Amino acid sequence: MQHHLFQQVSGAPFLVTDFDGTIARRDFYDMVRQELMPPGTPDFWGMFLAGELTHFQALYEIFIRIRQSEAEVLALVARMEVDPAFGPAVHRLQAAGWQVVVASAGCAWYIKRLLAEAGVSVTLHANPGTFVEGQGLIMRLPEDSPYFKPSTGINKAALMADMLARHPVVAFAGDGPPDLPPALMVPPERRFARAWLADALRDRGEGYHPFESWDEIAECLLAGE
């Protein structure tokens, strides 16, 4: 899904960021696995980690097994713990000329809601989806996206290449496996990581900024570090 909530301005630096685990502290798919799955559900995430399913396939299979009501699932979304510093950080960066782009291998169905609640106007690239009671959250591949990739839906590396072609200054923030290729496309001083991504970068001897709050990302970029 290519969801434009504001008009991009050419000639401005970009911050590309993941959503689950990066803007929101908790991952939607993991909360669904732990709290909503019926007994006996196969370990689709384990199948992804073992290379038996793509990232998209694993999330798709998890999401379509949701049998709770939409209200119950939205209550779960409300507990994803979006960083309270995220909205103010985005506003500060945008006021300084930065463009903020959210790129996610998750589903736009919940991401759009949480971005709206955070009061931010950003560009979102994520997998579209529709919630249907009795059928779960039906996530679709964004085949019309310029950054389409069958295994994840959104090809974050292709998006990063596009941003780098538009402006030499691009930053990236992420936390999971799909975030490693795009993170390696920017210099360490503009690379923000936590959790799995931080470990993977450290294992490769790659530098990065660890962060706990979006205040730290904004401060670092605005200071030009």
Tens-digit pLDDT profile for residues 45-54: 999 999 999 9
pLDDT in tens, 31-42: 999 999 999 999
Query: Of the given ranges (3-7, 30-34, 149-153), which has the lowest mean pLDDT?
Result: 3-7
Both 9 and 35 in a single domain? no
Both 152 and 92 in a single domain? yes
Both 128 and 209 in a single domain? yes
Both 124 and 219 in a single domain? yes
Number of compact structural domains in the chain: 2
- Can you tell me the distance from the alpha carbon of 96 to that of 93, in angstroms, rounded to the nearest whole number? 5
> What are the start-end ranges of the H helices in the chain?
28-35, 44-49, 55-63, 70-77, 86-95, 108-118, 156-166, 180-183, 195-203, 214-223
Of the three residues 17, 46, 77, the one that is the final residue of a domain is 77
pLDDT of residue 169 exceeding 60:
yes
The predicted model gives 131-138 an average pLDDT of 97
pLDDT attached to residue 174: 98
The predicted model gives 175-203 an average pLDDT of 97
pLDDT attached to residue 81: 98
Residue pointed to by tokens 């998890």? 62
- Can you tell me the distance from the alpha carbon of 36 to that of 156, in angstroms, rounded to the nearest whole number? 29
Of the three residues 44, 77, 110, the one that is the final residue of a domain is 77
pLDDT of residue 150 exceeding 60:
yes
Both 8 and 33 in a single domain? no
Of the three residues 77, 101, 136, the one that is the final residue of a domain is 77
Both 62 and 100 in a single domain? no
Verdict on whether the full-model pTM lies above 0.75: yes
Query: Domain range for residue 143?
Result: 2-26+82-223
Both 15 and 34 in a single domain? no
Both 111 and 147 in a single domain? yes
